[in-house]
Structures are given as C-alpha cells and as structure tokens.
Structure 1
C-alpha cells in the first residue's frame, strides 16, 4: 500500500452498481451484507479493508474487476483462503476467488486443472479416487493457486519431486490490461517463468494445470517428545537427516501448545518437540530409517504409520482456524551442532519462550535441482528452512516480533539472504529492499523488468509486491 492509496476516494454506489451489472458474482461495498465475510483473513492481525470486493464466479468477473480498477487507478489484491494477505488493501479492489471451484482430473495424463478458488483438500480427494496425489503443502485448507505461485513446498513429495511450481504445465491469468491469457512455456516463456515463484505480481491467475503422482499413501506421521528432551531429540535429528534418501522428508518443531480440549491430554498446554516424517517407500524400510530418532527419547504420542495422501494435514497439524500471529523465517546454509545448541538455549527448558512454534524443515534432493522448464523459485541449493511464529493480537506485536527476531538473528552465522516466498512474514513481503535479497540480484532484476512490461502501474502491489524496474 502506498500513501496515495489512502487518498483514493470511496467507490460510489453507482460505480459499484455499474460493475455489478457486468459480473455474475457479488460486488460489495463496506457495510454491505457479505463484505466482512469476503474480507476475513487467516491472520487476524492483517484485516482487509478494501474500497470494493468482487466475489468472482469466473474469469470474466476477474477481467471486469481488473478493468474497473485500472480505470479508477486502484490497486488490486487477490484472496482465496486469506492465508497470505499482507496489506489491508485500503482504497483498492479485492478479488475473492473462493467461488471458482472447478476441478478436472485427467487420470490418463496424470494432471489436474483447477480454478483459482480450489483448496488442496479438494484436489487430494478428487485425485485419490483415481489413485493419484498432488504436491500439496502441510495445510490442506490452503488455496492451491497462491501456494503454487510462491513455489510450493510439499512435506511429502518435495525432496523427491521438487517444488509444486516445477510441475505446472499451464496457467490462465488476467493481466493488468484486463486480458485473459493462456500461458505456457512455449507461448509466453517469460511470463510463465515469472508467475511461478513471483507470487501474485503479474496478474490474477484464474486456473492452472499441473502434474499428479501415482501415489496413494506414504509411511509417515509425527512423534511428540517432551520438550525437556529437546537437546537429545534435536541433535539426534540433526545428525540423522544428513544420511536420508530423497524419498524421506522430515521436520522438527519446538512447540508450546495451547490448552485446547481438541488436543489429546498429553499435548494439551504442553511444551513438546514434534518430529514429522514422510517416506515414499515400503513401511518396513521407513520404520527402519526413523528408528534412531524414535529412540532419542520416550515419546508422548507416536502417530507414524502408513498414511493415505488425503490425510497429509495430520503431519504438521497446522491450526485450521484463523488466529492472530506474527512470524519470521530464514533459510540456512548449514545446521551444525553450534546452531542446534543456540536454538536449544533460546527455546528449550527454562527459556520461557513465548513462541508457539519454531520449526526447521530439511530441504535438498530434488528441491535443489532446476526443473526441465525453469521458473523464478529462488531457494534452491539451501538445505534447511527455519520458520517461527507467536500467537497474539496487535498489542503483543512488538514483543513477539522481538522474540522472533532474536531467534532469526541467532541463526545469522548459518543463514542465507534468500528466502522462501511463501514463508515471508507481512513485514518481509512488503519490504522492496529485502525482496531483492529474497530472490537474489539477477533473478530480482529479471522480475522487475517483467513487472514493468506486464504491470507498469504496479496494480498488483497489495499482496507480495515486486515493483516495476
């Protein structure tokens, strides 16, 4: 959001009515019934207050909304589930895509075409009917499109297949000129490259087609250890993960869980270390591979077993309902004993850390390899991503942000300046200077040049913003 956005006049009822005559979905002004529901976000600390909401029912509605915004000089933000909203969108047009629910699974070609409002659980359920699975993330209620445009890190398929963006075949996108384009590596290689990894900077993606995989289950789940055994578990995991095949994915999280009745008694309000596994191979081999971590300490709960791909959400147990939170992330070039010891000092027993979760995910394998058709994903070649969040409303924002910064700063000796776009916090995603580090100089230069060509007025600046070069 710029200062000029705050000075934009309100959209008049007559202007809204004119747009509504062109759209099949609802067009809503502040105060209208349904406006608040369309603006709800996953992070309650990032409320949306757009001048106008268009509840797009199809690509034509998206075109009408973009053309309206262009005539009025308004920014455009896009929302499916609201997980990655980073600005309040004041003065702008919010396009809500949650009504765009088309899913077509082609079993013979092992592909799916999905519209912009589809969430991963819906794709998983459809694909499973024909023995296939998508490269969904850790949260099954996240929108497919935003996740994929940011790269898309699968906790099951990532290390063996790469990023979700690596397996996209085509996209349908409404650009700033209001045109609906079918984008492939052949007909527009530059826009294809930019869209996959460039997040929502180059238009509103209304549909995308991507690969599915002939997998129905994996050996996986989580083991919860007492937080007091953090040192033994973290050091065991750190050594163990270095020798794992690409078919094994894993992460470890230091968590202080809320006292929710939905949690089983050993976890309710507990301080725990949660180690997650997903192995794409025989269960007996997976059991053998994870045995050293299983033996690191007595477990509170062990859920590792043969698991259907439709239940991938059970791996990380991401909170399904909105909450107020602050988060930070970094990528690590290494995770030596010294780094583990520093995390134990900051997060372990006696630290009184207020953070709900700090996790480290192993990367590597196919995540390091450039795909057959290159894209803008910037995190290849780095073996770990560290992500943390603290739960609290805005009055705790300064305190929680400082705690998160302390953890990230402590990892600075092993950190890289690049970041995973999908993991960027609100502050990181809106800092243009930091974004040049997120992507690296050459990649960022290419993205800004493309932004100038496809969105010269920076209409798409309200989500993750790359300004025109």
Structure 2
C-alpha cells in the first residue's frame, strides 16, 4: 500500500510501515539505507515515469536503487525507485551490443554475451548493477585495453525530470549522451542502456597472494612492472589485515596479506612470461593465476559476495614515486587504527583516450593510478575512525592527487559535497554539466547522488 494520491503502477509501491518496505530498500552496502516517503518497485519504464512525475509534482527528491552497492547520499522523505524487476537483456551479435535494463547485474550480461563469444566491460564483482556501473564510469577487468565502460555506452532510455521517457544516442542528443557517460545519475532515471561488447572469450588472470612481510617489496616490484606491460594487461594490488574469524581459511585468518590481481587478454604462454617478475617476489600463499573463460573472471579480484557496511575514498594519481609508495602502505597497513582494504589500480592505456564518437564527461584521463581505501564500519564510532584514516591518506598523497573517481567513493553521506563532485571532472566539463543540468533538471530532482548543482540562465 502506498500514498493515496500515488498513481497506479504495474509494480509495487510501499510507504513506511508497509510489509516489504525495508526489504525493497535493502542493499549490498548496509552502512546507509534510504528512508523515503514512497518506494516504487518499478516493473516497467512507465512505472518509472509515473514515479518521477509524482516526485516532481510533490517537490520530492528522487533516488534510484538496483543492487545498493554505491549508496552514498540517503534519500530521506522523498521517492526511491527500485529497478530490480527491470531485468531484460538482449544481445545483438552482429552489432556486438547488448541492451540491458536497469536492474540487471553484470553476471547475467556476462553469461548471455559468452554464448556468442563476446564479453561486456564488466567490473570485478558480477553482482554489481550493470547500468549504474556504466553511468558512473566503470573501470573494468580489461580497462587498460578497452577503456571505461562508459566509453562504450551507445544509447540510453531514460525518464527526465519533466516526466518524459526518451531514448538518447549520438544522433538524437549528443550532449546528453556525453553527460550520461560518467555523470548519468544526475540527468534522469535510466531504465535501459545499449553498450558495446568486445570479442573476448578467455583471459589469463587471477590472484597472487603473499604474506604481508613482502608487502613493500611487492608494491615496489608491481609499480615498476606496470611501467613495462602492454595495454592488454590490467592489474591492481591490494593489502588487508584479515580478522581472526572461523569463516576465513587458515591461510588468511588474522594475517596481513598483499595481493596482486592480473587480467591479460592474450595467450597463456605470453601471460606466464609477463607475470614472472611478480611470482619471483616470494613464494605466494596462493597462486590462482590461470587461463580462464571470461565467465570465471570474478576470481580475478575475488570480492566478498555478502552484504556488509563499508565506506571508502580514493585518489587519482599522476604517478607513484618512492614517497607515494610509502604513504599508501602506511595509510592502510597493519598499523592503521581500523581495518582497511587498501587497493591501487593501474590506469592508462585506453583509459587515457577520449572516445571519438562524442566524447565523455569522465575526467582526469591522465591519471596513472587509482588508490582506493575501503573501510568496514559498524556504527558512528568506527565511522569517525574511518574518516580520520581517509583524511590521513589524502593528506599524505597531497599534490600527487589529480582528483577522484566518484564511482569508487561509497557511503560518504555528509562528505558528498559539490567540491567532491567537482573533483571527478575537469573544470570546464563540470561547468558544461551544470549548464545541462540547469536545462534538464533545474529543480535538482535528481540530487541523491554525486550531485551536480544546476546552473540556470
């Protein structure tokens, strides 16, 4: 049951106190939860249109949730549109594209595309929503070879703030398509997208896990190694002190470990040669690097599959020198005041190139590395400690920081300021986005996100 004046929809609607209200709002990141006046579990694009129209008429903000991985700014008292039931996928083999509805997770797209020898530019975890991931940028498993997922956005169906359902592509509205590639959450509720696929069936990759005593040596070796590898190699390095709990395997329980994750689109024999310098650092606790079908690519980063509470921050760096290496390890290592999952991604390659078919709003393409700090949290006390650790990281990285990757910043609530949003874009591009926002959403209906403040004439 929902508000009496809410229009009829094919899906379900809920208000606080209804059975199903909390379940529909439950997400993967449990640090925050939306508490809206109305939840619309949309079953069709027309349901989305009705929800947006209702929100505009009642001057309520709109938030969208598919899987709830990237929740940052909670919607209090507005309208939340749940897209989980929008679950269609269509593969066009000849065009090498996929049409994906807003509730679809990457795992489904991966499986559907694999039937035709194709792959999407998916991320490290197959349970992430494919549409929201793409709109935010998307640094995928093979990102250095193929670029951001957003760069391969061909078209989008969305409901804009005026309640209109429209389809956008490079011919019909190149300006809006440009904005959707990296800032899409600000301009409407996207109900489906068309993306390009790549002809990849198998990859050589996986993880090398080392005892933390080798962390510094591994970090230095990996940093030097990244300056030599071809664009067909994408990789990241991570550091974490695992808690001493029974659910973890004995090799990890209570242990500080360093992990390199590698993905190479090429022959296994060449992959073996490329990875050899990393294997030579020390005897790994685990060597999971192998040739695998792309459908097994979740093994490359082995992200935790269960919902939990976490917050994170990140910094895009121009490079990594000796001081930066030491700063990164100190910020998230075993001496940190709270459990941290510290990661560094190698960027460059195709990520540095703007797509020729209309460009993209994504900024800081000259960044060479992405440093991310994820902190599990429980309650306000641990959140305060996490904030302090995050601040220390940014202080130590200082002038090396070009900006931030907004899609990798989670559960920051009060820190989701205009200044933070600006940090994800080039200055001129942010102003361009703000003017477009002023034309399409002058009332800032879509503000429960990395909000671009509308500029009106």
Could you tell me which residue of structure 2 aligns to residue 78 of structure 1?
Answer: 64
Change (3 A) 1:245 1:423: same
Match in the other structure for 1:3 = none
Residue 14 of structure 1 corresponds to which residue in structure 2?
4
Distance 1:12 1:301, change over 3 A: closer
Instruction: Check if 1:212 corresponds to 2:197.
Output: yes
Q: Find runs of 4+ consecutive structure 1 residues off by over 6 angstroms.
A: none
2:243 is the counterpart of 1:253: no
1:65-85, Cα deviation, whole Å (9 max, x unpaired): 011111111100000001112
Whether the 8 Å contact between 1:166 and 1:371 is mirrored in structure 2 is yes
| Matching residue of 1:129 | 115
Distance 1:347 1:80, change over 3 A: closer
1:433 deviation in Å? Answer: 2.3
Q: Which whole-Å CA distance do the structure 2 matches of 1:343 and 1:206 have between them?
A: 39
1:366 to 324, 347, 350: 350
How is 1:37-186 mapped onto 2 (pairs within 5 angstroms)? Answer: 37-155=23-141, 157-186=142-171
Whether the 8 Å contact between 2:74 and 2:413 is mirrored in structure 1 is: no
**Kept in 2: contact 1:355–1:388 (CA 8 A):** no
Q: What displacement does 1:323 show?
A: 1.1
Q: Within 2, Cα distance between the matches of 1:137 and 1:305?
A: 19
| Shift, 1:406, TM fit | 1.1
Counterpart Cα distance in 2 of 1:345 and 1:429? 23
2:267 and 2:2 map into 1 onto residues whose CA distance is 62
Which residue of structure 1 aligns with residue 309 of structure 2? Answer: 324
Aligned to 1:412: 398
Distance 1:189 1:50 in 2: 33
Number of residue pairs aligned between Structure 1 and Structure 2? 452
Residue of structure 1 in register with 2:256 after alignment: 271
Residue 375 of structure 1, CA deviation: 1.2
Does the 8 Å CA contact 2:241/2:333 hold for their aligned counterparts? no
Partner of 2:438: 452
- Structure 2: unaligned runs, 5 residues or longer: none
Query: CA separation in 2, counterparts of 1:55 and 1:377?
Result: 30
Deviations 1:396-445 (CA, angstroms, capped at 9, x unpaired) = 111111012212221113211x2212112424872012322321210110
Structure-2 separation of matches of 1:462 and 1:348: 33
Q: Is the 8 A contact 1:101 1:116 kept in 2?
A: yes
For residue 296 of structure 1, report the CA deviation from its aligned partner.
0.7
* CA distance in 2 between partners of 1:429 and 1:216 (Å): 41
Distance in 2 separating the partners of 1:218 and 1:32: 47
5+ unaligned residues in a row in structure 1: which ranges?
1-10
The separation in 1 between residues aligned to 2:85 and 2:332, in whole angstroms, is 42
Q: Secondary structure at the match of 1:462?
A: coil
Work out whether 1:402 is the aligned partner of 2:401: no
- Counterpart CA distance in 2 for 1:260 and 1:129 is 39
1:31-88 deviation per Cα after TM superposition (whole angstroms, max 9, x unaligned): 1111101111222221110110000001000000011111111100000001112122
The reply on whether 1:243 has 2:228 as its aligned counterpart is yes
